[in-house]
Amino acid sequence: MSKINYNALAITGLKEVFIQLSETCKELEIDFFIIGAIARNIWYVTNNENSRGTKDIDFGVYISDVKKYNELRAKLKSNFGYKESAEDTFCLITLDNKQIDLLPFGEIEKESQVIIEGKGLTKVNLDGFKEAFEFGVNEVKIGEEKYKACSIPGVMILKLIAYDDRPSRRIKDIVDINSICLNYPSLESDFIWGNHFDLYDGDLEHDEIGVIVLGREMKKIISNNRALEKRLISIMDKAIDQESPFLSLMIQDSENETIADKKNIIKKLKLGFTETPAANMA
């Protein structure tokens, strides 16, 4: 189990939010996990990198029904002064104006969607959440508390889907996907060498192999959901075929990066994701 401190995640007051949610979920017998930018930053920090910083504090909460979800929201409001957002029913605002996204998944879902009465955004598509929670979670100790955090392959899955659901509003997800693909080969070098040695038999560079491995690890999480697998392949295909602005959004240094560079990254990601089980020696 990895161990870090709250200060390393570089968000003032994060400890209070985590403990408040943890205490409330324990009281209501609700399970949850850390997703999004905080899960990404936990990965960076546990690999001795600086937190990338974020204003987003996102959790996936495993919920049986709408009544239970509303009970969670009500207790956070009454016990800790959280307020509702006028723009997003799935978001609560803390006393110091932090936005906390509580995305409900599990039995509450109807055809992979959750609809809640409220203000602003009242419907979310939660493809991949259950799979990420069941097969893509790492335990991490932050301070003296233990939490479940989405693994980086799980983060990739959820970010691909989030962008595909709302491309005009989820550009930062592509920036994160690009950053993860660039950093995964170096930060996970020991894991790659130790578990995916078969990929070094050819002429591929280590950075390319690392992205293929990332695709392999993503596939493991959703291997029991053929519909989700097909959707993720479609997202990657649209990027590769430039039917979406995906590749151009990945470019952060226009003087040194090209569309061809980014296309190669997504092709390698897809290659790992679409391999037959026999091809994966891990």
Distance from first CA to last CA of the chain, Å, rounded?
Answer: 21
Residue 58 and residue 37 in contact, taking contact as beta carbons nearer than 8 Å: yes
Question: H/E element holding 49?
Answer: none
The highest-level CATH class for domain 2-150 is alpha beta
Tell me the pLDDT of the chain (282 aa) as tens digits. 788 989 899 888 899 999 999 999 999 999 999 999 999 999 999 998 988 877 789 999 999 888 999 999 999 999 999 999 988 889 999 999 999 999 999 888 777 777 777 666 677 788 999 999 999 999 999 988 999 999 999 999 999 999 998 888 889 999 999 999 999 999 999 999 999 999 998 889 999 999 999 999 999 999 999 999 999 999 999 999 999 999 999 999 989 999 999 999 999 999 999 986 444 433
Q: Spell out the long-range contacts of 7-14 with Cβ–Cβ below 8 A and sequence spacing 24 or more.
A: 8/45, 8/51, 9/38, 9/41, 9/42, 9/45, 9/51, 9/142, 10/41, 10/50, 10/51, 10/53, 11/38, 11/53, 11/54, 11/57, 13/94, 13/96, 13/98, 14/38, 14/57
Domain ranges of the chain: 2-150, 161-279
